[in-house]
A = this chain, B = another copy of it.
C-alpha cells in the first residue's frame, strides 16, 4: 500500500498557479538565497510558457506593502487570468481564482508561491480536498527559514501533495527530448549555469572539430 502513488504530470492536463510572487513579499524569503530563488521562479514561469500550460496569477494587496507582482511574470503571461484578491489569504477561498482553475479543465495543478507554508500550502491542501492532483514546486516557493519550510513540506507530504522542483516538473512534462530538443535545451541553458557551461564547451569543441 502506498501513501501517494505515482501520478505523472501530463502537459495536456496541467495548469500552473503562481501565488503572491510580489516584490515586497519576496524580501521575506530567506530559505533560498535570492539569486537562486529568482532564477527558480523564472525557470518555472519559462517552463509554463514553453509547455503552453494555462497559467493563473494571483496577488494579495498589491498596492500595499506586499508590493506588485514580479514584473517579469506580468510580461510573460500578459493574457493570463489575474486575480488580485481583496483579502482572502488562501487563494482557494476566492471564487474567481477557483473558477479560473476550473475553466482550464485541467486536473493537475502545479503550484508555487510565497510564502510556502501559507500561500502555497493552503492552496495545495485545498486543491487536494477539491479532488485535484497537486504538485508543489518547492524551489520556486520560499519562506522565512528552513525550519518553517521543513514543517510545511511535512504537512503537505502527509496530505498527498507531490513534492517537486522546477527541473523535475519540466522533465516530467517533456517526457521525451525529441518533442523539442531546442526548446528544452534553451530552458536548461538559461536556468542551469552548469548546463550552460556544458553546452558552451560542447559547441566550441564541435565547431573546432567539424
Interface status of A128 (Cβ within 8 A of chain B): yes
Find A154's partner among B27, B64, B157, B206 (CB 8 Å cutoff). Answer: B157
Docked-complex contact A168 and B129, CB < 8 angstroms: no
Q: Are A35 and B193 in contact, with the CB atoms below 8 A?
A: yes
This chain: how many copies in the complex?
Answer: 8
In Å, the complex CA distance between A139 and B22 comes to 25
On whether the beta carbons of B201 and A28 are closer than 8 Å, the reply is no
> A102 in the interface, Cβ–Cβ < 8 Å?
no
**A52 in the interface (beta carbon within 8 A):** no
Q: Closest B-chain residue to A203, C-beta based? A: B65
Across the interface, A178 reaches (CB within 8 A) one of B35, B87, B128, namely B87
Residues of A within 8 A of B (CB): 1-6, 23-24, 26-28, 30, 32-39, 60-68, 70-71, 86-90, 93, 115, 117-118, 121-122, 125-126, 128-129, 138-139, 144-145, 147-148, 150-155, 157-160, 162-165, 167-168, 171-172, 174-179, 181, 192-202, 204-206, 208-210
Q: List 18 A-B contacts (CB under 8 A).
A: A5-B128, A6-B129, A23-B200, A24-B198, A26-B193, A26-B194, A27-B197, A27-B198, A38-B193, A63-B205, A65-B198, A67-B197, A90-B172, A90-B175, A147-B165, A151-B168, A152-B165, A198-B201
